[in-house]
Amino acid sequence: MRPTIFHPLHLFDDTVSSINSQHGPWRSMNFFNNFAPELDDLLLVSLLAILVFLWTSHGILWSKPQKGHQLYFISPQLQEPIFKNIGRGPRQSNTRQINDRMTELRKAIIVFWGSQSGTAERLANSFVRECITRFNLPAMAANLDLYDYDQLGELSEGRLVGFVLATYGEGNPTDNATGLYEYLCRIEKSRDRPLSRLRYFCFGLGNSKYQFYNSFVGYVDETLTLSGAQRIAPIGKIDEAQGSDEAWLSWKDEMLKRLAERFGSQENVGKQWPVFDMVNLDNGMTLLSHAAETSTTTNTNQQQFVRVSRSLQLSGSVSKNSRHSLRTYLHIEFDTKIGSQVIQYETGDHVAIWPINPNDEVSLIATQFGWDKKTLKATIDIKPRDSTIHESVAVPVPTPTTREALLQYQLDIRGPISPEILELLASYSPNAAAKEYLDRCRLDPKSRSDISNQHLTCGQLMKQAADGAVWPEDAFSALLSIMPKLRPRYFSVASSPLVDPYSFAITAGLVETPIPQADRWFVGLTTGYLHSLHMKKNQIKENNRRQIPYNLDGPRSILSGYKVFAHVRKSKFKPPVNNEKRIIMIAAGSGIAPFRGFVQERMALSRRGDSVGKMILFYGSRSEEDCLYTDVWSEAEAMGILETHFVFSAQLVNGKKFYVQHKLLEHSETTKRLVQDDGGSVYICGSANMANAVKTSLGMLLGSNEAIQQLRKSRRLQEDVWA
């Protein structure tokens, strides 16, 4: 039997027959007429074709992106390479070898800086600029983090190395100086004096309120000497607790003279300030300036976003009738998961919050230079007039940029006025009267003290001196070289990731200080910024409180929705790894923040059935109103894992103020038993003065200061303190 073969045309023939056999109007129609296009079908097909053409030609034939359009999509922390060929200076290099880099730039002096807050970086750059402009010395400044140290003992003959080093925390190196510290730890055990060819000089920055005052520069100096290096001048040190640059200025002038004599250089007549040219760019470079608005220096940790999810006022009065300072405590919680970004943290870590300058300070300085809104927003490239400076010192700010971005997001225009800024302003005074006034401020100790006590900003001083006269733009160009950059403020984390891994909290203490002679109030930059966010988040408007205006939405509204720039810095201030270890926590004021995280963590562990050691909290505040987080302490006490001892300094005891260190002595037996018998740990958080007083009390009840040292060596005494 012959098989039936299927063919597609058979189906087609059947379909046509079926249609032609139908009754009605369809019967006279040919099959193909059913597919004849109607007018509306033609219009639809044509429209689709046009849309496809427009889509495929986007960015090619029409709507071409401006130069730099891709920068809209680059995170601030990834933007550093953008600037390497547009005035960022010095010339970029792939080498991390000191000798090779000095040969490349034809330099004989390299000055390394180790900086946490930016002060050491500023001083090192200032020193190198004066080397070049005053004495024509072949010097360069360098970030310690960008170099290896294998060639430190092999430098070419005649070359010198300088160190400007800050001491951070408990005698630790700054974040960018850890590589140098690790290198010195390796070679200090060597017996062959590997640095015998090295000639160096050094300067240290520290705070005498801390126990390990300037200890890092001391360690560097000692280790270099033991390794065969020779220091060519006395070591210099500055005590930041004194609030003066006098020690630095004296050491710097003497060191410059020594270097000039060593290299046979003569000082140029008259002091020359390095000036940067601000070159206007075309509109095609505008988007490059956007990248500069939030980029930071290479030694800064990567910036990320966090969003304020909740903000509460814990204590404080809003009345401003008092002549005394007002203190307000805020509890602020941040979401750390924004889109794909997640910031991880541990209990005891620190959070860096990056501030912005208030609008009125930006407007004030702009007015002094006669800048209108168009000038403020114009895109500029910043280049040193002296190419030798460009080869030796980095342009201090990202570029291209705008004047507005510099004032709002880059420069610390509200910071203290240094003697160097006073001298510069006097040099560029717009008239004789302004110069006379600034010279008097510069040379008269009482006038300098008045500037400090009144917390005058640069803009306020310029206005006061010039009395309406417009300052030359060269004054601003020179200020770029010495004005500090904005830096983050660090806060202790006041939460535990065991409670919420995608959120952390901080405790901010806002201090408002009256300045009667100026009829205004002074507030800290970062805490004032956070307070403005708090007010906006909670829709609070208070007529009896002057609101400081901030651009809270940030550049191009990238901070809208209550976001701030922040990053987490790891800390060694951690609860014991063994959760059953007993601990004593001692705090005053906002120093209570990390202990909220400690207690939250052990409460969470206890709830899930883990065994936890008992905690004892000694907490000092001015009054019961200022005793923070009492709900947390009550809950932990109810669980049987916390014992609290509060002390209020406003309540006199026998006519005297009673502080947390006195409370500690009242419970000496409990403290001794926990520390000596139970192997417990002691944690202190608060001001350096409070911490020193507490350690004195601890030494008394433990019998000796050696006991304190033993606790520290075994990591059973930890401090998180500030000046």
Specify the range with the lowest mean pLDDT, choosing from 160-174, 534-548, 572-586.
534-548
Q: How confident is the model at residue 48 (pLDDT cuts 50, 70, 90)?
A: confident
Q: What separation in angstroms does the CA of 426 have from each of 83, 435, 483, 510?
A: 33, 5, 15, 34
CA distance 143 to 3: 88
CA distance 568 to 342: 11
pLDDT digits (tens, 9 = 90+) for 114-126: 998 888 988 998 8
pLDDT number for residue 370: 96
* Contact indicator for 31, 15 with CB cutoff of 8 Å: yes
Mean predicted lDDT score pLDDT of the chain: 83
Least Cα distance to 211 among 711, 716, 709 occurs for 709
pLDDT number for residue 409: 93
If you average pLDDT over residues 679-703, what whole number do you get?
Answer: 92
Structure tokens at 391: 């080869």
pLDDT at 637 over 80: yes
Least Cα distance to 509 among 492, 495, 521, 497 occurs for 492
Higher-confidence position of 468 and 271: 468
pLDDT at 543 over 70: no
**Chain centre distance of CA 519:** 31
pLDDT at 288 over 60: no
Structure tokens at 569: 């810095």
Higher-confidence position of 436 and 55: 436
pLDDT number for residue 51: 78
Residues with Cβ within 8 Å of residue 585, at least 6 apart in sequence: 595, 598, 615, 616, 617, 618, 683, 685
Specify the range with the lowest mean pLDDT, choosing from 49-63, 526-540, 658-672.
49-63
Residues of the chain with CATH 2.40.30.10: 276-291+308-415+484-570
pLDDT number for residue 545: 53
Q: How confident is the model at residue 418 (pLDDT cuts 50, 70, 90)?
A: confident
pLDDT number for residue 191: 74
Residues of the chain with CATH 3.40.50.360: 98-263
* Contact indicator for 333, 494 with CB cutoff of 8 Å: no
pLDDT digits (tens, 9 = 90+) for 346-388: 999 999 999 999 999 999 999 999 999 999 999 998 887 766 6
User: What is the sign, positive or negative, of the torsion defined by CA atoms of 9, 14, 20, 24?
Assistant: negative
pLDDT at 82 over 70: no
Let me know the angle formed at the C-alpha of 74 by 562 and 302, rounded to the nearest 5 degrees. 65
pLDDT at 186 over 50: yes
Q: How confident is the model at residue 291 (pLDDT cuts 50, 70, 90)?
A: low
pLDDT number for residue 557: 87
DSSP H helix total and E strand total for the chain: 24, 24
pLDDT digits (tens, 9 = 90+) for 616-631: 999 999 888 889 999 9
pLDDT at 634 over 80: yes
Q: Residue 411: beta bridge partners?
A: 485
* Contact indicator for 166, 178 with CB cutoff of 8 Å: no
**Residues across the chain:** 723
pLDDT at 544 over 60: no
Residues of the chain with CATH 3.40.50.80: 583-721
Residues with Cβ within 8 Å of residue 572, at least 6 apart in sequence: 718
DSSP label of 58: B
* Contact indicator for 627, 648 with CB cutoff of 8 Å: yes
Q: Residue 627: beta bridge partners?
A: none
pLDDT at 150 over 90: no
If you average pLDDT over residues 227-248, what whole number do you get?
Answer: 88
pLDDT number for residue 67: 41
Please provide residue 320's backbone torsions phi and psi, each rounded to the nearest 5 degrees.
Answer: -120, 30
Strand ranges across the sheet with 379-384: 276-280, 379-384, 401-402
CATH of 583-721, one of 3.40.50.12170, 3.40.50.80, 3.30.230.10, 3.40.50.800: 3.40.50.80
What are the residue ranges of helices labelled H in 147-234?
178-187, 215-226
If you average pLDDT over residues 139-143, what whole number do you get?
Answer: 92
DSSP label of 411: B
DSSP label of 641: S
* Contact indicator for 111, 140 with CB cutoff of 8 Å: yes
The residue to which tokens 């309120």 are assigned: 209
Q: How confident is the model at residue 282 (pLDDT cuts 50, 70, 90)?
A: low
**Chain centre distance of CA 613:** 36
pLDDT at 300 over 70: no
* Contact indicator for 390, 384 with CB cutoff of 8 Å: yes
CA distance 549 to 357: 9
Q: How confident is the model at residue 62 (pLDDT cuts 50, 70, 90)?
A: low
CA distance 311 to 333: 6
Specify the range with the lowest mean pLDDT, choosing from 64-68, 314-318, 452-456.
64-68
Structure tokens at 488: 């983050």
CA distance 111 to 141: 5
Residues with Cβ within 8 Å of residue 522, at least 6 apart in sequence: 455, 512, 513, 514, 515
What whole-number percentage of the chain has pLDDT above 70?
81
Q: State the maximum Cα–Cα separation within the chain, in Å, rounded to a whole number.
A: 124
pLDDT number for residue 601: 97
Helix (H) / strand (E) containing 350: strand 350-353
pLDDT at 581 over 70: yes
* Contact indicator for 380, 477 with CB cutoff of 8 Å: no
DSSP state letters, 505-528: EEEEEEEEEEEGGGTEEEE-HHHH
pLDDT at 24 over 80: no
pLDDT at 661 over 50: yes
pLDDT at 281 over 90: no
pLDDT number for residue 29: 43
Q: Which amino acid is at 649?
A: S
| Range picked from 3-17, 63-77, 152-166, 289-303 for highest mean pLDDT | 152-166
Specify the range with the lowest mean pLDDT, choosing from 478-492, 507-521, 639-653.
507-521
Q: How confident is the model at residue 317 (pLDDT cuts 50, 70, 90)?
A: low
Strands 160-168 and 717-722: unpaired
Q: How confident is the model at residue 132 (pLDDT cuts 50, 70, 90)?
A: confident
Structure tokens at 458: 């640069």
pLDDT number for residue 19: 38
Least Cα distance to 408 among 372, 366, 371, 379 occurs for 366
pLDDT number for residue 72: 33
If you average pLDDT over residues 643-654, what whole number do you get?
Answer: 88
Specify the range with the lowest mean pLDDT, choosing from 129-133, 270-274, 472-476.
270-274
CA distance 548 to 522: 11
If you average pLDDT over residues 244-257, what whole number do you get?
Answer: 89
pLDDT at 695 over 90: yes
Q: How confident is the model at residue 5 (pLDDT cuts 50, 70, 90)?
A: very low
Specify the range with the lowest mean pLDDT, choosing from 196-200, 395-399, 612-616, 707-711.
395-399
pLDDT at 91 over 70: no
Quote the CATH superfamily of domain 98-263.
Answer: Flavodoxin domain (3.40.50.360)
Higher-confidence position of 8 and 611: 611
Q: How confident is the model at residue 111 (pLDDT cuts 50, 70, 90)?
A: very high
Domain 276-291+308-415+484-570 listed as CATH 2.40.30.10: yes
